[in-house]
Amino acid sequence: MSSTTQQPFGGSGGTPLHPLLAALGMVTAGNDVVLSTSVVSLTAEQAGQALEVLGREIARLQAAQLKVVRQAEACDVGKITGAPNAAVYLRTALRMSRHESSAVVGLARDLDIAVPSTGEALAAGAVSVRQAQVIADAVKKLPDYVGADERVEAEGFLIGKARFHNPEELRVLGTKLLERIAPEEYYRQLGEELARKDRTAEQKRSLRYSPNGVPQSESVHISLPAWEMELLRKLIEPLAEPVKGADPDRRPIDQRRGDAFAELIGMLAAAAKAPVRGGRPPQVAVTIPLDTLLKGTGAGTVDDTATVIRPRPCTCPCTDPKHAKQSTKKPANTEEPTSKETEGQAEDQVGKEKRRSTEPEKGPAEPGAAIDPHDGCPTCGGGGSARYLGTDGKPISVATVRRLACEADLIPVVLGGDGQVLDLGRSDRFFKEHQRRALAIRDGHHCNFPGCQIPEPRCITHHINPWNHGGPTDLANGVLLCRHHHTTIHHKGWQVRMGTHGHPEYTPPEWSDPKRRVLRS
Q: Per residue, what are the HEC states of 118-155? A: HHHHHHCCCCCHHHHHHHHHHHHCCCCCCCHHHHHHHH
Listed residue (466, 491, 464, 473) closest to 436, CA to CA: 473
* Alpha helices, DSSP H, located in 359-418: 398-405
**Per-residue pLDDT at 374:** 44
**Per-residue pLDDT at 316:** 63
Tell me, yes or no, whether 133 lies in a domain: yes
**H or E element at residue 516:** none
Tell me, yes or no, whether 515 lies in a domain: yes
Taking the C-alpha atoms of residue 341 and residue 339, their distance in angstroms, rounded to an integer, is 5
**Per-residue pLDDT at 420:** 56
* Number of domains the chain contains: 2
238 three-class SS: helix
Tell me, yes or no, whether 76 lies in a domain: yes
Inter-residue long-range contacts of 177-180, CB under 8 Å, 24+ positions, other chains counted = 177/138, 177/139, 177/141, 177/142, 178/141, 178/142, 178/143, 180/154
pLDDT (tens, 9 = 90+) of the chain, 521 residues, equals 444 445 555 555 567 889 999 999 999 999 999 999 999 999 999 999 999 999 999 999 999 999 999 999 999 998 888 899 999 999 999 999 999 999 999 999 999 999 999 999 999 999 999 999 999 999 998 888 888 888 999 999 999 999 999 999 999 898 888 777 877 777 777 777 777 887 888 888 898 888 888 888 888 899 988 778 877 888 888 888 888 877 778 888 888 899 899 888 878 776 655 555 445 555 556 676 766 666 665 566 655 443 334 445 566 655 555 544 443 444 444 344 444 444 444 444 444 444 343 333 333 333 333 344 444 565 555 554 433 334 445 566 666 666 665 554 455 566 665 555 555 444 455 677 777 777 887 888 888 888 888 888 888 888 887 766 667 777 788 888 888 888 888 777 788 888 888 888 888 888 878 888 888 77
Taking the C-alpha atoms of residue 107 and residue 305, their distance in angstroms, rounded to an integer, is 68
Tell me, yes or no, whether 484 lies in a domain: yes
Going by DSSP bridges, is the β-strand pair 299-302/284-289 parallel, antiparallel, or unpaired? antiparallel
Residue ranges making up the domain that contains 511: 429-521
Residue 436 has, within 13 A of its CA and on its CB side, a CA count of 17
| Residue 95: how many other CB atoms lie within 10 Å | 9
Q: Which residues contact 69 (CB under 8 A, 6 or more apart)?
A: 86, 90, 104, 105, 108
Q: Indicate the angle between helix axes 148-161 and 167-175, nearest 10 degrees.
A: 150
| Residue 222: how many other CB atoms lie within 10 Å | 12
Tell me, yes or no, whether 81 lies in a domain: yes
Taking the C-alpha atoms of residue 239 and residue 49, their distance in angstroms, rounded to an integer, is 58
3 three-class SS: coil
Task: Tell me which of 178, 199, 220 is where a domain ends.
Answer: 199
pTM, 2 dp: 0.43
Cα 315-318-320 angle, rounded to 5 deg:
135
Q: Per residue, what are the HEC states of 50-87? A: HHHHHHHHHHHHHHHHHHHHHHHHHCCHHHHCCCCCHH
| Residue 76: how many other CB atoms lie within 10 Å | 13
Listed residue (443, 442, 452, 456) closest to 488, CA to CA: 452
Task: Tell me which of 142, 174, 199 is where a domain ends.
Answer: 199
Rg (CA), the chain: 38
Tell me, yes or no, whether 10 lies in a domain: no
**Per-residue pLDDT at 37:** 95
Q: Which residues contact 314 (CB under 8 A, 6 or more apart)?
A: 323, 324, 326, 327, 328, 329, 376, 377, 380, 382, 383, 384
**Per-residue pLDDT at 457:** 81
Tell me, yes or no, whether 502 lies in a domain: yes
Tell me, yes or no, whether 298 lies in a domain: no
Task: Tell me which of 199, 220, 244 is where a domain ends.
Answer: 199
**Per-residue pLDDT at 186:** 76
Q: List, in sequence order, every residue forming a beta bridge with 353; answer none if it has no partner.
A: none
Q: CATH number for the domain including 494?
A: 3.40.1800
